Chain A
Amino acid sequence: MNDLELLYRQVIMEHYKNPRNKGLLDDPTYKAVRIKNPSCGDDITVQTKVENGVIKDIRYDGTGCSICCSSASVMSETLIGKLKEDAMTITETYLNMLTNKEFDTNVDLEEAIVYRGVNKFPARIKCASIAWKAFEGTIEESE
């Protein structure tokens, strides 16, 4: 399989076709952040509910390419139930991995590890980042 097949064949298509935790809630206990990439039309809103230091729930909605939409789904599945600090560490590690920076391989990225292949397609790094960056934003807002 070439790099592109690797990228698409794994978890990405699964989550693109069967998105988890999709659809926003009208609930003020959630913090919401919207991020758009105006140059390509990716547009994701993430809602996070933090309770007693735990990521109780994440919801998202939006439009975009398969990498953008699937990464939002994978992000929500990976981070729900984690301690807030752990969720932030995973997010930071994930974003470092995408951008070819040094990252702590001891941090378990779970399914999100498949996006490692995105760093071979620099033009798509933004697609795979925005849902995670929006999540980071919701945590910063709740602090």
Chain B
Amino acid sequence: MDPYILKKDFPILDDKTLIYLDTAASSLKPKQVINKLEEYYEKYSTNVHRGVYNLSYVATEMYEQSRRKACEFINADFDEIVFTRGASSALNIVASSYGLNNLTSDDEIIVSELEHHSQVLPWQNVSNITKAKLVYVPLNKEGRITIENFKKVLNNKTKVVALNYVSNVMGYVTPIKEIIKLSHNVGAIVCVDAAQAAPHKKIDVKDIDCDFLAFSGHKMLGPTGIGVLFGKKELLKEMPPIEFGGDMNDNVNLYDATWKDSPYKFEAGTPPIAGAIGLGAAMDYINDIGIENIAIHEKKLKDYTVSKLLEIEDVVIYNKDAETGIISFNINSVHPHDAVTFFDGDNICMRAGHHCAQLIIKWLKVVATLRVSFYLYNTIEDCDRFIESVKNARDFFKSAGF
């Protein structure tokens, strides 16, 4: 893959001075995806599963074609793919439908301090309501989830294991396949937050044998407002819907009703049709390049940048050995929000804050961190300009008296 050619697909990068290093928050969108959204709105912007006329048939066909693409993308079956608003809403369906209906005060839920709020908070809520015990995997000194530590918290009471595939702050890859195997041995189900994995890593739900898995479109070149929930069909079949309304129902009577089969049972109301179709285009785009090639490219940029940052005095890196393209760091005695204003002045977009993962920020014992994240449109020149800007920022704040 050639990032210099790929860059040309991203209209925002027509601004040659812009350096976008915040893909972990949301990726940029290529014109192939934008054009697909336009195609829907201009040519067949009708509802799905309802209209008995040709245009609605076209829209339905395009929407369901995207579902088939999502199946192929993670090696799932057609009725195991639910379209949602994003990874957050997907994880909430699992917690509210599976969690609230299957857990009791005798049960335990395993999470970690490495989770994004969208994974930990829905299960915290389930724990508060059902009185199931929320248990945290102790992180190792690098901040990783290890098999050894996971075994310390796993037991016969464990009913749900809810962990990330790739951390959005530390960029670590969780040994999820082994965790799933161990969890199944004690009869627990595993819900995987793959929001940070799907854009960067080949996912095979059959190979890892996860029970649920969630990801978002907008972090992987797709539109906002669309995400995917994978669930094993036998689990989805038993789960009640949590949203009720149009399209999800089968037979409606005065005082009761029946539901469609999964996935439609979980897709109440008019779904994000354009978003789903755009996500299909994003998956095509990634497949054309090859996700393994993207991962190699990001890792190369991340390793190069880490090696240069390590040479700069006053820079602290929290995850230098991460396997993916995320670097969390700080400049000594400079609040990340002060620093990020400097980078903004150099037209570098990056994140400062707690990255919707306050627990790991507290674990690191810092107020917040700076974070850069790389993707297929970043180049070695982006890294060099960023590194130069870090040096200048450090010098600027030192001379200002920080």
Structural contact, B338 and A65, CB atoms closer than 8 A: yes
- Does A40 contact B368, Cβ atoms closer than 8 Å? yes
When distances are taken between beta carbons in the complex, the residues of chain B under 8 Å from A66 are 335, 338, 402
Listed stretches A1-9, A47-55, A108-116; interface member: A1-9
Inter-chain contact B344/A8, CB cutoff 8 Å: no
Across the interface, which residues of B come within 8 angstroms of A123, CB to CB? 340-341, 344
A13 contacts partner chain B, Cβ-Cβ < 8 Å: yes
With A17-B401, A66-B335 given, is the CB distance from A4 to B354 under 8 Å? no
Q: Is the CB of B396 within 8 A of A13?
A: no
Residues in A with CB closer than 8 Å to B95 are none
Do A40 and B353 have beta carbons less than 8 Å apart?
Answer: yes
In the complex, chain B residues whose CB is within 8 Å of the CB of A5: 396, 400
**A41 pairs with B368, CB closer than 8 A:** yes
Chain A: how many interface residues by the 8 Å CB criterion?
A: 22
For residue A9, which residue of chain B has the nearest CB?
B400
CB neighbours of B396 from chain A (8 A) = 4-5
> 8 Å CB contacts to B: which residues of A27-75?
39-42, 63-68
- Contact A13 B401, beta carbon cutoff 8 Å: yes
Identify the A interface with B (CB < 8 A).
2-5, 8-9, 13, 17, 39-42, 63-68, 121, 123-124, 127
Determine the distance from Cα of A121 to Cα of B341 in the docked complex, in whole angstroms. Answer: 8
Residue of A nearest to B339 (CB): A65
B400 pairs with A13, CB closer than 8 A: yes
Interface residues of chain B, those whose CB is within 8 Å of chain A, are 335-338, 340-342, 344-345, 352-354, 361, 367-368, 396-397, 400-402
A67 touching B367, Cβ below 8 Å: no
At the interface, is chain B mostly helix, strand, loop or mixed?
helix
CA distance A134 to B201 in the complex (A): 45
Select from chain B the residue with minimum beta-carbon distance to A126.
B337
Please name the residue on chain A nearest to B340 by beta carbon.
A123
Beyond the given pairs A67-B338, A123-B344, 15 more chain A to chain B contacts, judged by CB atoms under 8 angstroms and listed by A's residue number, are A4-B341, A4-B345, A4-B396, A8-B338, A9-B400, A17-B401, A40-B354, A41-B337, A41-B368, A42-B337, A64-B335, A121-B341, A123-B341, A124-B337, A127-B337
Does the CB pair B341–A40 fall under 8 Å?
A: no
Nearest 6 A-B pairs (CB), nearest first? Answer: A65-B337, A65-B335, A8-B400, A41-B368, A40-B353, A65-B338
In the assembled complex, the Cα of A67 lies from the Cα of B396 at a distance in Å of 16
Chain A residues with Cβ under 8 A from B340's Cβ? 123
Q: Is the CB of A39 within 8 A of B353?
A: yes
CB distance from A74 to the nearest CB of B (A): 16
